[in-house]
Structure 1
Amino acid sequence: VVELQGVVKRFGEEVIAVDNVNLTITDGEFFSLLGPSGCGKTTTLRMVAGLELPTAGSIRIHGEEMGLRPPNKRPVNTVFQSYALFPHMTVAANIGFGLEMRKVPKSERREQIDWAIDLVEMGNMAHRKPSQLSGGQQQRVALARALVNRPEVLLLDEPLGALDLKLRQQMQIELKNLQREVGITFVYVTHDQEEAVTMSDRIGVMHDGQLLQVDSPEAIYERPTTRFVADFIGQTNFLEATVAAANEVVLANGDRLRLASDQPV
């Protein structure tokens, strides 16, 4: 559903934020871009959203080239870490703001708002203001506001970053359940390995603007393809060794170590 081909983003002459990224995200997938701060994951997300334009390469959604198409003309919505709720509006009014701007008829708007409120289980708080909500509740409102427009792709830029640990873990489960219920593609940006592994169907690990590995959480954890991925995704000890046979290495002190692997070293 989302295709990036040879995508590059430069800032000025020297800074390459995204370096030749090729990626296909399938329909209905929960896909996470995982990496440390400054690796290019948010810039990649912003290019899909239309908030940044690529220096080179193409971005397609359902086969349609996005090119210079502005954000409001793309079949995506974005949820940021800062929920940006209007403080003077109720929960229902915040959720329905985008529909109002699109001049959706009032009766249809009411029906869609009710659907979105029920989806995030906020029906009894529809008339509250954001200041009367907890962080987790505000996050649910931001999600409902993004989903009420029925986007083909939902982009999420570290939306749980402002929550405390316990609430963040709870919301990870709720987000995954929500994605399964609505059945649309989620593209999730995070630097938190636990978040990515817990929720994702597949993970793309980024470093220095490059996409190093794309695979299932299990495959990335068990079979990292680079030293950086191995170090970033889990607690890892590195031992210097020389390959002696298909499944055997010689350590620096001369000891031989047989490897329990279904693949050659």
Structure 2
Amino acid sequence: MKKDQLLTRRRALLGGVAALGAAGAAGLLGLGAGGDPAAPAAPAAGAPARRPLKPSTYRLQPLVGHGGPNASRTLVRREPVLRMTGVGRTMVLTFDDGPDRRYTPDILSTLRAYDVRAMFFVCGEMVVDNKDLLAEMAEEGHVVGNHTWSHPLLTELSRGRIRSEMERTSDVIEETYGERPRWFRAPYGAWNRSAFQLGAELGMEPLAWTVDTLDWTEPGTRTIVDQVENGAGPGVVVLSHDAGGDRSQSVRALRDYLPQLLDDGYHITVPRRHQV
């Protein structure tokens, strides 16, 4: 499929997703004062910081980045968004650290089987060798977010390094997915003033999570399923992983809990960002 056909198909899919989500997910709850200068924030609830992965052997040189025409209009938050707001039993499934050829295709296959859209927060260095998986996400209407280039602990980086990590990733997402990301997530849930400010400059909203499956600890498929089912509720954002280690338990768990959530009456959707 040609790139222009792919992007047309993707925009049509996302338009349908937005229409479906409008009734149950009209917007997002921002916990900080929207237009005020951002203050340092504690890490979001969830997994404690892990040691960053070793740098990839296929890392690219920095690309020329830009924030896009709407970047300056994105408000700087003090804290990340933690959950959706709206009427109805809506939930969002998110997957971090990929794409990974060992696990992401299985996750995409399960989502496709149930006609469900999800969010994938990708690392730029992982995209480089897996561009076809991002194209598949675009084709099927999933939302792709920025998870930095090499998954560093942002609170230990200079402002310039943080910008490079974010900007390079936005560039490779735009090249592969068809448009620049509108969401970002700090690795390890470690946010700071610079991350909020630079994310806003690049036109992105910060999204954390409500329920951490703790799948990165490899606790067993049943435990991951229980984490999701016990934490399910209106507006919940679920954190899982499709890379960064052995994610076979995460793949199997999704096959179990996704149909159960749907049977329980939850609408699994993707969020709509406030138009500002």
TM-score (norm 2): 0.30
| Higher helix content, 1 or 2 | 2
Tell which has more relative contact order, 1 or 2 (C-alpha 8 A, sep 6+).
2
Higher-Rg structure is: 1
| Higher strand content, 1 or 2 | 1
TM-score (norm 1): 0.31
